[in-house]
Amino acid sequence: MSGEHETGDHLNRELVQLSRVMSCEKGDGDPMEDPLFILESGEVYRNPTEVKMSQIVMPCHANHCGELSVGQLLKWMDSTACLSAERHAGSPCITASVDDIHFEHTIGVGQVVNIKAKVNRAFTSSMEVGITVSCEDLFSSCQWNVCNAFATFVARRGTHLGLTVQLKQVIPRTQTEQMEYSIAAERRRMRLTHAEIITDLLSSNTAQLGIILSTHSSGAVSAERTRVESVELVLPPHANHQVSTFGGQIMAWMENVATIAASRLCNAHPTLRTIDMFHFRGPSHIGDRLVLKAIVNNAFKHSMEVGVCAEAYQGAGALRHINSAFMTFEVLDKDRKPRTLPRIRPEPVDGKRRYQEAVARKKIRLDRKYIISCKQTEVPLSVPWDISNQMYLSYNNVSALKIMAARSNWMLSSEKNKVSLYTLEENQILCFKVETHVTVPAEQAFHLLSDLRRRHEWDRHYQQCDVIIQADEDDTIYRVATPCVSKGGKGQDFILLASRRKPCDSRDPYLIALRSVTLPTHPATEDYTRGEVLCAGFSIWEESNAVTKISYYNRATPGVLPYISNDIAGLSSSFYSTFHSCNKYLEENRDSQTVLPPSDR
């Protein structure tokens, strides 16, 4: 499989693409790889949770095209990730969920699959495991990336699956590990709100989705024609070392019935492009009968979404919901280009609901793809905001700031009055960091700096700041007006999304992330030049009860450079004055009651 497709990239690819922007890529190497990290003992550091698996693809692993079956790949990925999780936990682990997966390439018979898994972060009893899959051609020595994934595992005590284990913390050592550790908390936040996003989007777009349904119903293929139901008896070879059905085996069975459903719509062999999140609702055991059901929910021009679920029962017992997922397929022609697909006609009630939800999920995929597709050299840098992509813009906003903060090669440019200015220049991208310490509790500093309406009290560049939308407790959209920096010119204004995050635990800072967005209600005007911020914000660390370290980051854009170029060149000290004023503002208000912006929704 090659290239992007209309369903867009998924969350597990966002981290890689965001980090590539901040990575100094040379050649065709892995941008996520750190230089060798040497321990004090002189040994080369290797992550203690890292597990590697290499498998040569045999004909028994392949599908009709001579390519590795995705179901078999999922089994290998789940097995590798589980071993990594158990290495960290020191006890049995079970798969709780697997984030969205986008498959970039297929793997042929005779090629080698290399899978690497490591624990990115541990929470109370669950942990996130990062998985990378690459393919190796033994004859040419070429290697290429196949997919990246993030799986969540829960540790259990012995064979008692009801007893969870208190996990030890992961200690990140390298720059990449620090970045993965930091963003893992943001991905966890996304997982917990995934269902709410779909519900909110459906409720706000019900009328529009109904129009789409009625417009496309004539001449369509009945969804009932694509329905598949299959039963599997769970035998000992299907179980893991905890005598539960192997999560990878369940995923492989689900992929099989989903492929059959997709084939029935197009009367051809489909190619699996993406898998939306797998979420395991409960365990299955040896002796269970697993009922697997699949149906095409919706067909778009070049892709179709198949919904698939797994349920288990024993004897005459009731069905138990085990897992569900959504898979996106394409049908390729002889030139490996996507074919146009027939339209689908859903069954009443449940079929209509599935049809509408598939449209909502497609919109979310496209939003996510567009949000991360804008590069430094493209105009505009900002992306449209609406309620349906709010969560993903917020995720992107915070993740980009965390990636910038995790960089280790900042260069001290100058220092004055306990304010330090650092720069980072890579791949023709300039970033800067301003760092200072204040004798104000971290939480109070966080609240004071979160409300941009008060920033004019210490930053002369913020001439005016108004709240446009209070999206939720953590996300606010502001319009900021700044004065002109040259004679006879116009001032600039910015439409900024501010995303706040409190620490997940003591190893996290408080964060305030800023980036530009566009709103149809606030277009550019003749009175101001519309400026843009790609990535900026504050990282606030509690160093003690009395001392807080504040770091301000900004990835310089044409709209920002006029305000800071003289400071970076050493021709001005206005930044030091600004952050000296910031220190004074925080200390004068250390005991004040802070109020969040009012809701304008």
CATH number, domain containing residue 304: 3.10.129.10
Residue 140 CB contacts under 8 Å (≥ 6 apart), including other chains: none
pLDDT at 576 over 90: no
Nearest-5° Cα angle at 299, 296 to 304? 70
Sorting pLDDT into bands at 50, 70 and 90, what band is 565? low
Amino acid in position 60: C
Q: Are residues 347 and 393 in the same domain?
A: no
Whether the predicted pLDDT of 85 surpasses 60: yes
Q: What's the confidence (pLDDT) of residue 162? A: 59
Q: How many CB atoms are located within 10 Å of the residue 585 CB?
A: 19
- 71 is a domain residue: yes
Is the residue at 21 inside a domain? no
List the single range of 192-201, 393-402, 424-433, 436-445 with lowest mean pLDDT. 192-201
Q: Based on the fold, state whether residues 83 and 225 are members of the same structural domain.
A: no
* Domain match, 114 and 230 both: no
Helix H or strand E segment including 430:
strand 429-438
How do residues 221-241 score in pLDDT, each as one tens digit?
Answer: 999 999 999 999 999 999 887
Q: Which of 328, 350, 376 is the last residue of a domain?
A: 376
Pairing of strands 510-518, 383-384: parallel
Q: Which domain holds residue 101?
A: 38-183
Burial readout 417-441 (b: 16 or more C-beta within 10 A, e: otherwise): eebbbbbbeeeebbbbbbbbebebb
The pLDDT value given to residue 89: 93
Tell whether 601 is covered by a domain: no
- Collapsing DSSP states into helix, strand and coil, what is residue 230? strand
Which of these three, 376, 400, 431, is where a domain ends?
Answer: 376
Tell me the pLDDT band of 203, cut-offs 50, 70 and 90. low
Is the predicted pLDDT of residue 510 greater than 70, yes or no? Answer: yes
Residues 441 and 368 in one domain: no
* Exposure class string for 539-550: b at 16+ Cβ within 10 A, else e: bbbbeeeeebbb
DSSP class of 495: E
Q: Is residue 242 located within the same domain as residue 162?
A: no
High-pLDDT (> 70) share of the chain, %? 81
- Please name the amino acid found at residue 410: W
The band of 21, judged by pLDDT with boundaries at 50, 70 and 90, is very low
> Would the pLDDT of 201 be above 70?
no
C-alpha 482/C-alpha 456 separation (Å) is: 10
Confidence of residue 35 (pLDDT cuts 50, 70, 90): low
Tokens of 37: 């990290």
- 600 — pLDDT class (breaks 50, 70, 90): very low
Same domain, 360 and 385: no
Place of tokens 């990290």: 37
Type and span of the H or E element at 86: helix 70-89
Q: 417 in a domain, yes or no? A: yes
Residue that finishes a domain, picked among 376, 391, 406 = 376
293 and 150 part of one domain: no
* Spatial separation of the C-alpha atoms in residues 490 and 434, rounded to whole Å: 27
Contacts (Cβ under 8 Å, ≥6 apart) of 222: 344, 345, 347
Q: Give a yes or no: residue 436 inside a domain.
A: yes
**d(C-alpha 395, C-alpha 308), whole Å:** 27
- For residues 318 and 455, membership in a common domain is answered with no
pLDDT, tens digit, 9 for 90 and up, residues 517-540: 999 999 999 989 888 888 999 999
| Minimum mean pLDDT range among 196-200, 348-352, 377-381 | 377-381
Clarify whether residues 347 and 489 are in a common domain: no
Type of residue at 251 = M
Closest to 272 (Cα-Cα) out of 301, 303, 299: 303
Over residues 545-565, mean pLDDT: 77
* 388 part of a folded domain: yes
User: 309 and 245 in one domain?
Assistant: yes
In a domain, 191, yes or no: no
Mean pLDDT, residues 379-405 taken together: 83
Q: Tell me the average pLDDT across 386-393.
A: 81
Exposed/middle/buried for 127, CB within 10 Å: 0-12, 13-18, 19+?
A: buried
CA-nearest of 365, 366, 353 to 298 is 353
CATH code assigned at 405: 3.30.530.20
Report if residue 29 sits inside a domain: no
Residue 541 and residue 475 share a domain = yes
pLDDT at 213 over 60: no
Domain count, the chain: 3
| Same domain, residue pair 325 and 225 | yes
pLDDT for the residue numbered 15: 41
Question: Cβ(331)–Cβ(338) under 8 Å?
Answer: yes
